Amino acid sequence: MARNKYDIDETLQSEFSFEQLKRLYSYIKPHRKDMIFTIILMVISSALSMFTPRILMTIMDDYIPNKNIRGIVTISLLLLLFNLIIVVFLRMKIHITTRLGQNIIHQIRSDIFNHLQELPFSYYDDRPHGKIQVRVVNYVNSLSDLLSNGIVNTITDLFSLFFIVAFMLSINIRLSLICLLGLPVLMALIFIIKKKQRVAWQISSNKSSNLNAYIAESINGIRVTQSFVREQENIKIFNSLSNNYSKAWMNAVRLNFLLWPAIDNISTLTTAAVYTLGVAWIDNQIPGITIGVLIAFTGYIGRFWAPINTLASFYNSLLTAISYLERIMETIDEPVLVKDMEGAAAMPPIKGTVEFKDVCFSYEDGIRILNKVSFKANQGESFAIVGPTGAGKTTIINLISRFYNLDSGEILIDGIDISKATIKSLRKQMGVMLQDSFIFSGTIMDNIRYGNMEATDEQVMTAAKTVCAHDFIMGLENGYYTEVNERGSRLSAGQRQLISFARALLADPKILILDEATSSIDTETEILLQEGLSKLLVGRTSFIIAHRLSTIKNSSCILYVDGGSIQEMGNHEELMKLKGNYHDLFVSQYEFLNESTK
């Protein structure tokens, strides 16, 4: 998948193979009884409809010349019964196939979404989120018609062709061979354009993915767009991407439409040949050729090419679906790089000792972010991590929760290598507040309870009071049951951070990880928050990243990280005496704050 770019086409990691169609069948297999039942209904309907031209032939050649009125009425009632049965069966088929198709679509979409829940941060770090979303929604939806009607109709039409050819041959072999002469021409055309069609639909899906990625990015960044008056530039980019998608789609559809005119032309030519030769043979009194035979045969010719047209439509749908199926299966096959190793055991109740041993890590090959980082945080200690932007501070705390795999080294919690513990049992015992304070749509109560779904309302309120969020929450129109929008757009940045903080604390973790937890909180609230934290951190091991150095002065240990390694380590007093990087950073920040208050 394209990396962080909405204007770069996706490239598939592997070519299409029929194994993917087999995997698609695995979704159909649980519903095969319904599908077989529907196919039986449609085969019976098709067989009944095949009698119509044959009955008309009997009427023309036997009943009308013999003035058999009773026979005509009887056979007409029989045709009416056949048509009623066909209508009932068709209604049942529509109901079953619609339900069946949507159930399959739901299962495929569920499998993709479930897999996305397991993929590591690295998967989302270097992919446009819009290109991920389009696979879950648009691409899966594109399979809907194929699964709901295409397969059943195709199998039914194959049986219909068998019945039609059988009836045609039973009536007249000569006329049947004339009709079948058009098939080799059609097969040659399909063979010529099939590869072009698949490539065309791949390109179309690429352009659709690009457009979706840009729309998602634009919506997420709408405040920045309007702040910098970038609307017109964004519209130009959107129009360019939309035009590219439109051209790609039109090219793909143009190739699809080549089959239908070809089928119509071949059908018209063979029908004309049957009429021409049939009339000539009647005039020459060729045995077995009568007016009734010719009328019946022309009826079968129309029925013969109708399922051919449906099969061609299914072929087009299949080629279209394949281009989407490839990307769907590619997403499902995306390896879960961070997963439980074989034989992993549940993490026992954590006490809180955390140790890094020569930890090396890189997001990309050859670009080392952490280089042989080693330190030990004992139970109940608070470790602050400071340093310049891009030094690796957030990476360190992400590795504690095992959001990424190490290149080398070990991370031990209570002496246990976390790579040998199950991820769920590890993360369940940690409280994490990342730099991005994400708020979900729903109530504030639900957002805080996200950290512990079994927590009572009273426990939620206690957590909110601890982080000084209770007062502003109670000031909202419905208190804890106030509905907030996605990403918490109705709340200030500071309020969102306090709610996220309460969410982390509600998990009652033995290890607490705070990434810029107070960056958007005013000074007055921060003082209150520090009071609550000082009580909460007792008996818990905590890791705190903070640019405001005043908030971490009382930490048990401060790590100054730069260039992927720990440059200085000690408490505030020890590092100030060193007069090194931490000292310079603290003094410069202190002087800046003094200047800003003058």
Continuous H helices in 415-542: 423-427, 444-449, 457-466, 470-474, 493-506, 523-536
Q: For residues 312 and 374, state if they share a domain.
A: no
Q: 357 lies in which domain range?
A: 352-427+544-598
288 located within any domain: yes
527 located within any domain: no
Residue 500, SS3 per DSSP: helix
344 located within any domain: no
Residue keyed to tokens 């601890």: 466
Report how far apart, in Å, the C-alpha atoms of 402 and of each of 19, 121, 245, 412 are. Answer: 34, 10, 39, 11
Domain count, the chain: 2
Rounded Cα–Cα distance for residues 374 and 419 (Å) = 17
* Selected residue with higher pLDDT from 75 and 114: 114
Those residues whose C-beta lies under 8 Å from the C-beta of residue 392, and which sit 6 or more positions away, are 361, 369, 370, 373, 561, 564
Find, among 550, 497, 545, the residue nearest to 394 by Cα: 545
Q: Give 515's strand partners.
A: 545
- Does pLDDT of 598 surpass 60? no
Find, among 154, 157, 159, 151, the residue nearest to 34 by Cα: 151
Q: For residues 328 and 363, state if they share a domain.
A: no
- Does pLDDT of 226 surpass 90? no
Residue 364, SS3 per DSSP: strand
The domain boundary, picked from 304, 332, 360, lies at 332
Q: How confident is the model at residue 1 (pLDDT cuts 50, 70, 90)?
A: very low
Report how far apart, in Å, the C-alpha atoms of 349 and of each of 356, 414, 429, 509, 543 are. Answer: 19, 10, 8, 10, 19
Helix and strand tally (H, E) in the chain? 24, 12
State how beta strands 442-443 and 483-484 pair: antiparallel
Q: For residues 281 and 368, state if they share a domain.
A: no
346 located within any domain: no
Give the pLDDT confidence score for residue 254 in this predicted structure.
Answer: 83
Q: What are residue 477's phi and psi, to 5 degrees? A: -60, -35
Q: How confident is the model at residue 80 (pLDDT cuts 50, 70, 90)?
A: confident
- Does pLDDT of 450 surpass 80? yes
The domain boundary, picked from 332, 363, 394, lies at 332
Secondary structure element (H or E) that encloses residue 558, with its range? strand 557-562
Give the pLDDT confidence score for residue 349 in this predicted structure.
Answer: 92
DSSP letter at 367 equals B
- Does pLDDT of 249 surpass 60? yes
Q: For residues 78 and 126, state if they share a domain.
A: yes
- Mean pLDDT for the stretch of residues 137-144: 79
Q: For residues 34 and 84, state if they share a domain.
A: yes
Q: For residues 249 and 392, state if they share a domain.
A: no
445 located within any domain: no
- Mean pLDDT for the stretch of residues 339-350: 90
Give the domain CATH number at 379.
3.40.50.300
Neighbour-count burial for 89-124, b at 16+ CB within 10 Å, e otherwise: beeebeebbeebbeebbebbbeebeeebeebbeebe
358 located within any domain: yes
Report how far apart, in Å, the C-alpha atoms of 104 and of each of 31, 38, 98, 333 are. Answer: 8, 16, 10, 18
164 located within any domain: yes
35 located within any domain: yes
Q: For residues 102 and 45, state if they share a domain.
A: yes
Poorest-pLDDT segment among 140-149, 196-205, 531-540: 531-540
Angle at 518 between CA 513 and CA 524, to 5 degrees: 140
Enter the tokens of residue 484: 């907030």
Question: What share of the chain in percent tops pLDDT 70?
Answer: 89
Residue keyed to tokens 């077995």: 288
The domain boundary, picked from 302, 332, 362, lies at 332
